[in-house]
């Protein structure tokens, strides 16, 4: 089993990233046997589809590496690297552009969402980045890829590209990856709007809990989180139609491992004046160790670069046979 996943280095992680993805990465890492391996990368090449200053991109990559390590990714047990240090990603993406079809890319809903009405003004990279995503996965013969609902379409495209390449050139080069969709992945919503996902792009910092927030900031954000005037019911089923209340109970449940029904039963009949302080305490105690590890790491550029370079060397060695196989299949002399 070989698991691969990447994350864009677009600033600090927030609670939604941690509970929705990173915590599951750590769990997979910890459950791997001796014959299995996890590859986790910072998708800095994907990040160039949006303009960003050089110094900010460098800072974001290092800080994201520090955040992942602080959250539990162990560079000695998993391969942690930044994409740009492994040129095979860009090389294979170009080779796969000959196999991918414009019609396939036109169906990608994320491009439509991100380009919006400015489709003609969007970068070519934003249109073709699903091909780079396919290269990211196929390079390492990944058998499994953790995906959210918004990425399932891109993994299906990856499989389509792999099948067409293998068929067109009569090879069995690329492994067809299967999605990992954890049954109990937490879907964390905005603290200001329970119908929208918690996001880095939300202009209001009060909408999210950042993993870098201090104890007082976390408590303040929970205290000011949007709720409703009704008390908590006996079960989660009774929270239907109350998105903000359901979100806060869901966060409590995800952090403690307690079922949503159990949380509701414990606080049934009580208002948010009683529930919010308990939630804030759980958040503070859960996130404080991560924040402390992050603060100790984030400014040690030498150590972070050494970790990413070591990971890139491992990744490059793993990717090389697949890249050479693609060149050979295409009749391109190296």
Q: What are the contacts of 235-242 at 24+ separation with CB within 8 A?
A: 235/261, 235/264, 235/265, 236/260, 236/261, 236/264, 238/264, 239/264, 242/194
Q: What is the mean pLDDT of residues 231-236?
A: 95
State the chain's mean pLDDT as an integer.
93
What is the rounded CA–CA span in Å between residue 115 and residue 244?
29
Give exposure, 285-311, as e/b (b: 16+ Cβ within 10 Å). Answer: ebbeebbebbeebbeeeeebbebbeeb
188: Cβ–Cβ under 8 A, 6 or more apart, which residues?
15, 16, 19, 20, 197, 198, 247, 250, 251, 254
Indicate which residues carry an active-site annotation. 114, 197, 200
Instruction: Residue 144: name the closest of 296, 312, 28 by CA.
Output: 28
Query: In the chain, pLDDT over 70 holds for what percent of residues?
Result: 98
179 against 114, higher pLDDT? 179
Q: What is the mean pLDDT of residues 121-144?
A: 93
The separation between the first and the last C-alpha atoms of the chain, rounded to the nearest angstrom, is 30
Question: Does the pLDDT at position 262 exceed 90?
Answer: yes
Q: What's this model's pTM, rounded to 2 decimal places? A: 0.90
Give exposure, 260-270, as e/b (b: 16+ Cβ within 10 Å). Answer: bbebbeebeee
56 against 113, higher pLDDT? 56
Question: How confident is residue 150, by pLDDT bands cut at 50, 70 and 90?
Answer: low
Q: How many CB atoms lie within 10 A of CB 229?
A: 6
- Residues 47-84 have pLDDT tens digits of 998 888 999 999 999 999 999 999 999 999 999 999 99
Burial class (CB in 10 A: 0-12, 13-18, 19+), 104: middle
Instruction: Residue 22: name the closest of 31, 11, 14, 33 by CA.
Output: 14
Which residues does residue 14 pair with via DSSP β-bridges, in sequence order? 210
- Residues 273-300 have pLDDT tens digits of 999 999 999 999 999 999 999 999 999 9
In the numeric block, the tokens 């600090």 are attached to 12
pLDDT at position 108: 86
Query: In the chain, pLDDT over 90 holds for what percent of residues?
Result: 81
At 138 the three-state DSSP class reads helix
Q: Tokens at residue 115, please?
A: 């380009």
- Residues 8-43 have pLDDT tens digits of 898 778 999 899 889 999 999 998 888 899 999 999
pLDDT at position 49: 87
Question: Does the pLDDT at position 155 exceed 90?
Answer: yes
Instruction: Residue 317: name the closest of 101, 36, 41, 88 by CA.
Output: 88
What is the rounded CA–CA span in Å between residue 179 and residue 175?
13
pLDDT at position 110: 78
pLDDT at position 183: 65
Question: Does the pLDDT at position 185 exceed 70?
Answer: no
Q: What is the mean pLDDT of residues 219-236?
A: 96
**Strand arrangement, sheet containing 178-180:** 79-82, 37-42, 2-7, 144-146, 178-180
């Amino acid at each position: 089993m070989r698991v691969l996943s990447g994350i864009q280095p677009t600033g600090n992680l927030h609670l939604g990233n941690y509970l929705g993805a990173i915590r599951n990465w750590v769990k997979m890492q910890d459950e791997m046997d001796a014959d299995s391996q996890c590859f986790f990368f910072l998708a800095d090449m994907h990040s160039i589809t949006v303009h960003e200053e050089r110094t900010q991109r460098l800072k974001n990559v290092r800080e994201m590496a520090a955040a992942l390590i602080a959250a539990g990714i162990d560079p000695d047990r998993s391969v942690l690297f930044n994409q740009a240090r492994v040129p095979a990603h860009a090389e294979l993406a170009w080779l796969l552009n000959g196999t991918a079809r414009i019609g396939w890319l036109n169906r990608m809903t994320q491009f439509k969402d991100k380009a919006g009405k400015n489709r003609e003004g969007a970068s070519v990279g934003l249109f073709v980045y699903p091909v780079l995503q396919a290269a990211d996965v196929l390079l390492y013969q990944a058998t499994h890829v953790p995906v959210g609902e918004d990425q399932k379409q891109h993994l299906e495209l990856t499989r389509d590209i792999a099948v067409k390449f293998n068929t067109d050139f009569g090879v069995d080069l690329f492994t067809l990856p299967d999605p990992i969709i954890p049954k109990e992945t937490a879907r964390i919503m905005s603290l200001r709007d329970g119908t929208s996902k918690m996001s880095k792009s939300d202009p209001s910092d009060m909408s999210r809990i950042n993993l870098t927030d201090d104890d007082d900031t976390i408590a303040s954000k929970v205290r000011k989180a949007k709720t409703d005037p009704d008390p908590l019911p006996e079960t989660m089923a009774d929270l239907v139609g109350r998105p903000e209340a359901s979100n806060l109970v869901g966060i409590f449940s995800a952090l403690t491992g307690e079922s949503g029904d159990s949380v509701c039963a414990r606080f049934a009949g009580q208002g948010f004046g009683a529930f919010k302080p308990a939630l804030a305490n759980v958040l503070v105690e859960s996130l404080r160790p991560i924040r402390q590890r992050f603060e100790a790491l984030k400014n040690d550029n030498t150590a972070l670069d050494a970790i990413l370079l070591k990971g890139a060397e491992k990744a490059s060695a793993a990717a090389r046979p697949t890249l050479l196989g693609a060149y050979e299949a295409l009749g391109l002399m190296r």
